[in-house]
Amino acid sequence: METLAFYSYKGGVGRSLLLANAARFLASLGKGVVALDFDFEAPGLHYKLGHAAHRESRMEGGAVPYLVATAREATSPPSLEEHMIQVPVPPGSGGWLRLMPAGPAPDRAYWVALKQLGEQIHFDDPSGQGLMPLLDLHARIREELKPDYLLIDARTGVTELGGLATTILADTVVCMFVANQESLDGTLMVAEALKASPRLKGQRPIRIVPALTRTTSEPPSEGPFAEGVKRLLELGAGTASRGNKKEPKLFELPHDTVHGASDRIVAGERTASAFSPLYKSYLELFRELVPSSAQRAEEALSRLEVVASIKEEMTGGREQYDFDDVLSPWNASAIDEGVSYEGEGYGQPASRYADLVCRDDAGRPLMVVEYLAGSHKEAVDFWGQRTKVRCLLLLSRNQHGHVEREIYARRPDEHELRPTDRRWDLPLPKEFDLLLDVGDRSIEKMIDALRRGHAEAAAWLVGEWRESVAAVEGFGPKSPPWRPLRARRILDGLAATEDPGLGEQILRRAAPGPWGPWHPRLRYRRKFRDEWGGGDDLDRWMAKDLFAPLFWRLSVEAVVRYSGERHYPGESPCLAGYRLLAHDLMGLRYDPDRTALAEGRAVWAQRSDERQGEDSEDWEPVEWLHRSRRERNEHLRLSDELAPVLVWEELGREARHFRGTLQEAREKIGDKGRKQATSSSGLRRRLRERLDRHQLAAEGLLGQYDTAGRIELYPAVIGAAAELLGVSQRSLKSVAFIYFAVLALAHQARDLDGQPGYGFAPAPLRPPYFRESPVHVSLAQCFAQRLIERLDDPNLMAAFEKLSQHQPEPYRQWEALRKVPLEQLRVYLMRARAAPAAIGLPPLEERDW
Amino acid sequence: MSTDLLNTLVTSAIWRAEQLAEHGIDSASLAWAEVSALEEELAKALPASQPEGRIARRGAVRAALKAGDFARAQALAERYLAEKDATRTLRASLRQLLEEDARTLADRFRHAAKAVDDVRGLARWLQEGGAFGLAA
């Protein structure tokens, strides 16, 4: 039996807590342990160890009643069992732990017994009558209980009992002190006395282990405190443990506000939440106190450290990527720690220890984390065959001490777990909904998930796209590799989304900044900036190469939704799609925010002059900006109305000499005429006639850019036209949108002089048989074609080409412009923009530019 | 004081102490201390060479042990053992008295019996130096 005494010159150093943890730790190693509370004046070990058992048993025994009884009874000593509590230990450890509390403190009976003890036993009695009961108790514990370890909580300060517990009973004394001179000096004095104290025959010299507790910072390395620590270590070195030739070490037990304050006994626990810096220090100390436990302490420490780190990672303790905000981390309440998992199925009942079990909302286990001590195969077989978990994370340390992870997964219908390529990105809870096999988080599988309506997959895909192109900007050695093909696959997958709602989500996710500091994505940007040395540039790449193509390639309905719905006040849709067209292709500047602000400031300046002396705030320009944004949100609409050309045609049959506006014409034909005109058979017939005359793509049949600066598309007509042309309705709608967007930008965007393109201004009235300028139309179609070519979307290109073929010859001049260099094309555009009116420009053939 | 008177006093003191001890009265140890004091007086009056003197010396030590005053018993025994005229039998019996006391202690605390030889030395160390021997 090895006797360890825990002593402190001053109180409040966490002595009892350390003893309780040491006791439980040793018991968890399969050792027999007795803990003895000799802090008679302030007993409390039973509060930390076996409090519930002590309370339930209403035990009246303990060290003080035992010694009193021993002093009385001359021949028959009291039973040890009556004075001890059996303390529960971690199941399956094979060890045991018994506590002899000081007594039934704080009951009055205890203090009566303590008074009697003081009267009956005098430890300094030269006959030995006072010392013998103590030595007898020590020997009885050794002989009757045969523990491996006896741990004694020695009283604080300089007392006879404290002195005896440390000098006569103990083999090892842990001297605890805090980082102040008073505590250190007292400890040093006692340690010197311990070294000089007499010992019983056959006893080894006392081993002294100094421990600095409740540390919050490094202890001073110079001055009296450092000198004192050095002396204390010298005393400890002189009594180093057998076979321990290492340099003496000062054990530092950090201040732990969580475990320390709650007096939680964590030793022996295998749960990740037990891990704390204090527990880590405990284990290091135990390793010194009980060298035979070094390996187990090492293992326990290693396991806890790894599992705690994994849990922290899973619950979002680490910095998360953007997509993780949507694929949210595990909720701590969904993770059970230290579960003895009962296997299902036939055969011998079996259970296995799982460090973490992650469950879904219904409590079904989804994923198990096990820190592996044994063979991988055994673990994989058990979790694969005896449970229904879909994912298994095995953790182990390799020969170099590095943590290795292996992730096994399976589909719900599979019977065996398969190794996966995943290593460092742990499956998140939502992934179990998104993916049938969480082991395969490939682009294709995520796109599948997207098709099945999981918008979260879009966020993940956008995150992956960013990582794939981050290297473009040369963000340093830490940047991920450049993977353009992967980025392209992501873009194509996202763009193929049919559902407008999902399309809107994709656009939201793909939209780069600017974001306020509240925006979760800011963290991602910070990561780029801090780790890869970039970030802002990536936003520009994202706007240009991800958002803009998606803007044009996703369904028009998605764009309408994205442009219309606002999630917070002041939110404005990203303009990168228009900017790509205006800046990169047309050589124009499209920045409605800046324009609106400039206009707002100009108006405000004018009004301010008029309202000299009045109180005012500078809100008007901002108001103007908001108005501009409101208007912009309605810039694109899908209209149920009849296309103007159809209105005029319908009316032409009834009122040949009508001279009113388009609105008046629409009212005149009424609902009946509207229904007639838009009935599928009627519409098809009319469109077929136009198709034959090559007039399908003209005269604002599919949509228009109107005088309100708005693009209006007519889905009913587009649908019928797509059917006739044999192209997809969605593509045709997008082509129409692109074409009218070119017209709108040619009109609204500014050139180098800040001027809009008057030549592309829409005609105020759309009279019957209105003819658009072939020059302007051809130029617009040319830019539309160049955008589609850049988007590299075969569906869009097919729709564009089919549509283009069915228009009168003069309007097909864009084909002649295909090989014109972009700069030259921009020159043409500038001229067309400067033209006074859209009608009456010379045809392109005349080359009169 | 005459030895006769002392003998009379010590006889009654022994009877009184035995009676008190027999009835479990706490003051028995005080009575034994009184016996020890009277025997010591007798021992002063009688040389160790005389049988009465040897009896008084043994009685003083035994009574001190019964009084629970081991320190006194040990001091007396050491003093008597040092006397020149102490016979071999007296010395042997005095040592036997102390050993019997130790045996009694060892019998009472049989688990720590091996430590009995050391325990008195430790107790003296504690008595002289206080806790941790710091006052020594």
A253 or A583, which is more confident: A583
Tokens describing residue A484:
């353009």
Domain spanning B3-133: CATH 1.10.3470: no
pLDDT band of residue A425 (cuts 50, 70, 90) is: confident
pLDDT digits (tens, 9 = 90+) for A95-120: 899 999 998 888 888 999 899 888 88
CB atoms within 10 A of CB A753: 6
What distance in Å separates residue A308's CA from the closest CA in chain B? 43
Asked if A248 reaches chain B (Cβ–Cβ under 8 Å), the answer is no
pLDDT band of residue A251 (cuts 50, 70, 90) is: confident
Asked if B115 reaches chain A (Cβ–Cβ under 8 Å), the answer is yes
One-letter amino acid at A325 equals D
Which pLDDT belongs to residue A270? 62
CB contact under 8 A, B70 and A126: yes
Tokens describing residue A826:
């921009």
Q: Classify residue A331 by burial, with Cβ atoms within 10 Å: 0-12, 13-18, 19+.
A: middle
CB-based burial, B64-88: b 16+ in 10 Å, e otherwise: bbbbebbebbbebbebbeebeebee
Tokens describing residue A401:
């001490």
pLDDT band of residue A570 (cuts 50, 70, 90) is: low
Give the mean pLDDT of A241-263: 66
Which pLDDT belongs to residue A737? 95
Sort out which chain A residues have CB atoms less than 8 A from B70's CB and list them: 125-129
The closest of A257, A321, A332 to A466, measured between CA atoms, is A321
pLDDT at A388 over 70: yes
Interface test with B, best of A7, A79, A127, A201 (most B CBs within 10 A): A127
Most confident of the ranges A500-504, A649-653, B1-5:
A500-504
pLDDT digits (tens, 9 = 90+) for A479-535: 667 888 999 999 999 999 999 999 998 998 888 764 433 344 444 445 544 454 455
Specify whether the CB–CB gap between A493 and A443 falls below 8 A.
yes
CB contact under 8 A, A167 and B123: no
Q: Write down the mean pLDDT value for chain A.
A: 81
Give the mean pLDDT of A752-776: 76
pLDDT band of residue A738 (cuts 50, 70, 90) is: very high
Sort out which chain A residues have CB atoms less than 8 A from B125's CB and list them: 197-198
Which pLDDT belongs to residue A766? 56
Which pLDDT belongs to residue A268? 63
**Calpha distance A773→A840 (Å, rounded):** 7
Which pLDDT belongs to residue A785? 95
Placement of tokens 């988080």 in the chain? A441
CB atoms within 10 A of CB A467: 20
Give the mean pLDDT of A781-810: 92
pLDDT digits (tens, 9 = 90+) for A4-43: 999 999 888 888 888 988 888 888 888 899 999 999 888 8
Give the mean pLDDT of B89-114: 87
Number of H helices, E strands in chain B: 6, 0
φ and ψ of A215, to 5 deg: -75, 140
pLDDT at A272 over 60: no
**Percent of chain A surpassing pLDDT 70:** 82
Asked if B21 reaches chain A (Cβ–Cβ under 8 Å), the answer is no
Sort out which chain A residues have CB atoms less than 8 A from B133's CB and list them: 163, 167, 193, 196-198
Asked if B95 reaches chain A (Cβ–Cβ under 8 Å), the answer is no
Work out how many CB contacts closer than 8 A connect A with B.
107
Asked if B5 reaches chain A (Cβ–Cβ under 8 Å), the answer is no
pLDDT band of residue A475 (cuts 50, 70, 90) is: low
Contacts of the segment A90-95: beta carbons below 8 A, 24+ positions apart:
A90/A24, A90/A27, A90/A28, A90/A268, A90/A269, A90/A270, A91/A340, A93/A27, A93/A28, A93/A29, A93/A30, A93/A268, A94/A30, A95/A26, A95/A27, A95/A28, A95/A29, A95/A30, A95/A31, A95/A32, A95/A33
Tokens describing residue A478:
């830490």
Q: Chain A 21-80, CB below 8 Å of chain B: which residues?
A: 70, 74-75, 77
pLDDT at A325 over 70: no
Domains and CATH numbers, chain A: 1-170 (3.40.50.300), 592-633 (no CATH), 639-846 (no CATH)
pLDDT band of residue A843 (cuts 50, 70, 90) is: very low
Sort out which chain B residues have CB atoms less than 8 A from A74's CB and list them: 108
Interface test with B, best of A200, A206, A208 (most B CBs within 10 A): A200
What distance in Å separates residue A138's CA from the closest CA in chain B? 8
Which pLDDT belongs to residue A609? 65
pLDDT at A226 over 50: yes
**Calpha distance A578→A709 (Å, rounded):** 14
Chain A residue closest in CA terms to B71: A126
What distance in Å separates residue A125's CA from the closest CA in chain B? 6
Mean pLDDT is lowest, of A427-436, A524-533, A658-667, for A524-533
Interface test with B, best of A38, A76, A129, A143 (most B CBs within 10 A): A129
Which pLDDT belongs to residue A73? 62
pLDDT at A181 over 70: yes
CA A834 to each of CA A400, A711, A757, A784: distance values in angstroms, whole numbers, following the listed order:
73, 22, 6, 20
What distance in Å separates residue A142's CA from the closest CA in chain B? 9
Which pLDDT belongs to residue A542? 87
CB contact under 8 A, A138 and B112: yes
Report if pTM > 0.80: no
Asked if A131 reaches chain B (Cβ–Cβ under 8 Å), the answer is yes
pLDDT band of residue A53 (cuts 50, 70, 90) is: low
pLDDT band of residue A817 (cuts 50, 70, 90) is: confident
Which pLDDT belongs to residue A558? 95
Nearest to B109 among A124, A135, A200 (CB): A135
Sort out which chain A residues have CB atoms less than 8 A from B74's CB and list them: 126
pLDDT at A255 over 70: yes
A239 or B39, which is more confident: B39
A259 or A24, which is more confident: A24
Bridge partner residues of A152 (DSSP): A5, A36
Asked if A146 reaches chain B (Cβ–Cβ under 8 Å), the answer is no
Which pLDDT belongs to residue A26? 86
pLDDT at A698 over 80: no
pLDDT band of residue A767 (cuts 50, 70, 90) is: low
One-letter amino acid at B58 equals R
pLDDT at A241 over 60: no
Which pLDDT belongs to residue A652? 74
Which pLDDT belongs to residue A713? 93
CB contact under 8 A, A160 and B101: no
A732 or A564, which is more confident: A732
CB contact under 8 A, B134 and A158: yes
CB contact under 8 A, B111 and A198: no
pLDDT at A674 over 80: no
CB atoms within 10 A of CB A215: 18
Which pLDDT belongs to residue A517? 34
Give the mean pLDDT of A225-251: 73
Which pLDDT belongs to residue A847? 41
Chain B residue closest in CA terms to A136: B112
**Calpha distance A622→A151 (Å, rounded):** 74
Asked if A339 reaches chain B (Cβ–Cβ under 8 Å), the answer is no
Chain B residue closest in CA terms to A74: B108
Specify whether the CB–CB gap between A98 and A86 falls below 8 A.
yes
CB contact under 8 A, B120 and A127: yes
Nearest to A136 among B71, B112, B123 (CB): B112
pLDDT digits (tens, 9 = 90+) for B63-100: 999 998 888 998 999 999 999 988 999 999 999 998 88
**Calpha distance A543→A95 (Å, rounded):** 64
Which secondary structure element, helix H or strand E, spans residue A65, and what is its range?
Answer: helix A63-72
Using only the alpha carbons of chain B, give its radius of gyration: 16
CB contact under 8 A, B132 and A126: no
CB contact under 8 A, B122 and A194: no
Asked if B117 reaches chain A (Cβ–Cβ under 8 Å), the answer is yes
Asked if A774 reaches chain B (Cβ–Cβ under 8 Å), the answer is no
What distance in Å separates residue B136's CA from the closest CA in chain A? 10
Placement of tokens 């990536």 in the chain? A538
Chain B residue closest in CA terms to A202: B115
Which pLDDT belongs to residue A533? 47
pLDDT at A235 over 70: yes
Mean pLDDT is lowest, of A361-375, A392-406, A558-572, for A558-572
Helices (H), A533-570: 536-542, 548-553, 556-564
Which pLDDT belongs to residue A588? 93
